[in-house]
Amino acid sequence: MARNSENSLLFGVDKITVFTYVILVFMGWLNIYAAVYNEEHQNIFDTTQKYGKQLIWIGTAAVIAFSVLLIDAGFYTVFAYAFYGFILLLCILVPFVGREIKGSKSWFGFGGFGVQPAEFMKFATNLALAKFLSNENIVINQQFRLRLRDIIKNYKNTFIALLILGMPLLVIKVLQDETGLAIVFVAFVVVLYREGLSVGFIIFGLLATILFVLSLIVTQTMTLIIVLGCISLSAFLFIHRTRKNLIFVVLIFGAACGVVLGTNYVYEHLEQHQKGRIDVLLGRGEVDLKKEGYNVNQAKIAIGSGQFLGKGYLQGTQTKYDFVPEQDTDFIFCTVGEEWGFLGSTIVILLELFLILRVIFLAERQRSPFSRIYGYGVAACLFFHVAINIGMTIGLMPVIGIPLPFFSYGGTSLWSFTILLFIFIKLDANRLLILR
């Protein structure tokens, strides 16, 4: 390996990842063009149109990508906490000093463009989490215990990790009231899991979700009866009837009761539009397709009408004529579904999946825990976005306003995903140099 090539910018850069990224960004731009397209404005460089602006965003994203690769990998490790602290501070400040755009207080304005600091919180949090977890002395407890003493002793680090995730979540949710941007931080639980978080937590979380949904679909009483039935049956069949286990069973049931009874409280205290979105997803009661059900219904109509091969590029009637709201940002997948059909939609899903799996593959080959953890953070974050974004357009997820990575219109999100991904590409490119 020649020395000058080691110093070159692209040395060790995973070309497959970069290539997939480029394809996704390009396809995204094509679909933004289709979504905004009208016969009067056909110049792709027309910056009064969103596809024209997106070209600027893509150009600047390329600059950012190169800059990220230029900077020494050590920089990210060293300044991980600094990034975290600085951007978190911006997130706290933005509601007070930022510009209000479409009723949202999460933007800093620069001339005609706006930037959401919360978007950058993703990579900063990922860096901080990786830095914290890669510390030699820190071990995430791998056992699932319920005794208070054990919990305090063994889960201290887990709590700190959760705090790193929880702070931006709370700041963005409470101060900026941006549910979509906030909820993303939940995704990093996957990283904790990879680094040793007991499966019990995950299962507990999953069970709680199931109970939440169940008690909204059927009644609370019904849910409790089902839970009681399941627990007693499994206790009877699988568990030795010791005193300890009995307490365990009672505790589980108590927790389930708490979740079920808490469901109603949480649901009732949601905002009207959020309630509506949950109702739409679960098919509860009379969903008015003109109000809360409109987006999802129109999205499904657009995608469903694409059929196998789609209507052809720029031929979509639903997206082109504004039936689907937010079709260039959060509902960009509708354009894909309508114009490219099942074939195109599947290709997009598989491309995103491929990118995520590629990142996991790269993460696993890292020798440095920091790089690995950061890599998992990238994969988890991307996966969460893709799953929620596409899921909501096809009625499998509640409507949460988060973008489809590399696809949706928007400068901040493209920049933030680019930074998130390219830091990892840089770390990966550097993996051989680290132990030299």
Q: Which residues here bind another protein, judged by CB under 8 A?
A: 133-136, 138-140, 142, 190, 193-196, 290, 298, 300-308, 317-318, 321-323, 337-338, 341-342, 345-346, 349-350, 353, 356-357, 360, 364, 367, 369, 372-373, 376, 379, 383, 387, 390-391, 394-396
DSSP secondary structure letter of residue 186: G
Q: Could you give the CA distance from residue 151 to residue 147 in angstroms, rounded to a whole number?
A: 6
In this complex, which beta carbon is closest to another protein, that of residue 379 or of residue 423? 379
Tell the smallest beta-carbon distance from residue 294 to another protein (Å): 10
Give me the DSSP letters along 212-237.
HHHHHHS-HHHHHHHHHHHHHHHHHH
Pairing type for strands 99-101 and 113-115 reads: unpaired
Tell the smallest beta-carbon distance from residue 382 to another protein (Å): 10
In this complex, which beta carbon is closest to another protein, that of residue 60 or of residue 305? 305
**Packed helices 369-393 and 294-304: angle between N→C axes, nearest 10 degrees:** 90
Tell the smallest beta-carbon distance from residue 376 to another protein (Å): 8
Tell the smallest beta-carbon distance from residue 55 to another protein (Å): 25
User: Phi, psi at residue 146, to the nearest 5°?
Assistant: -120, 0
In this complex, which beta carbon is closest to another protein, that of residue 203 or of residue 251? 203
Tell the smallest beta-carbon distance from residue 59 to another protein (Å): 31
Tell the smallest beta-carbon distance from residue 321 to another protein (Å): 4
219 Rama sector, left if φ>0, alpha if ψ -120 to 50, beta otherwise: beta
In this complex, which beta carbon is closest to another protein, that of residue 176 or of residue 318? 318
In this complex, which beta carbon is closest to another protein, that of residue 220 or of residue 368? 368
Q: Could you give the CA distance from residue 153 to residue 159 in angstroms, rounded to a whole number?
A: 11
In this complex, which beta carbon is closest to another protein, that of residue 190 or of residue 227? 190
In this complex, which beta carbon is closest to another protein, that of residue 178 or of residue 338? 338
In this complex, which beta carbon is closest to another protein, that of residue 345 or of residue 430? 345
Tell the smallest beta-carbon distance from residue 398 to another protein (Å): 15
Tell the smallest beta-carbon distance from residue 216 to another protein (Å): 21
Determine the straight-line distance between the first and last CA of the chain, rounded to whole angstroms: 14
Q: Could you give the CA distance from residue 223 to residue 220 in angstroms, rounded to a whole number?
A: 5
Q: Could you give the CA distance from residue 409 to residue 114 in angstroms, rounded to a whole number?
A: 13
Q: Could you give the CA distance from residue 86 to residue 192 in angstroms, rounded to a whole number?
A: 24
CA-derived radius of gyration, the chain:
23
Q: Are 1 and 297 in contact (CB under 8 A)?
A: no
Q: Could you give the CA distance from residue 84 to residue 82 in angstroms, rounded to a whole number?
A: 5
Tell the smallest beta-carbon distance from residue 372 to another protein (Å): 8
Q: Are 375 and 424 in contact (CB under 8 A)?
A: yes
Q: Could you give the CA distance from residue 168 to residue 423 in angstroms, rounded to a whole number?
A: 20
In this complex, which beta carbon is closest to another protein, that of residue 92 or of residue 397? 397
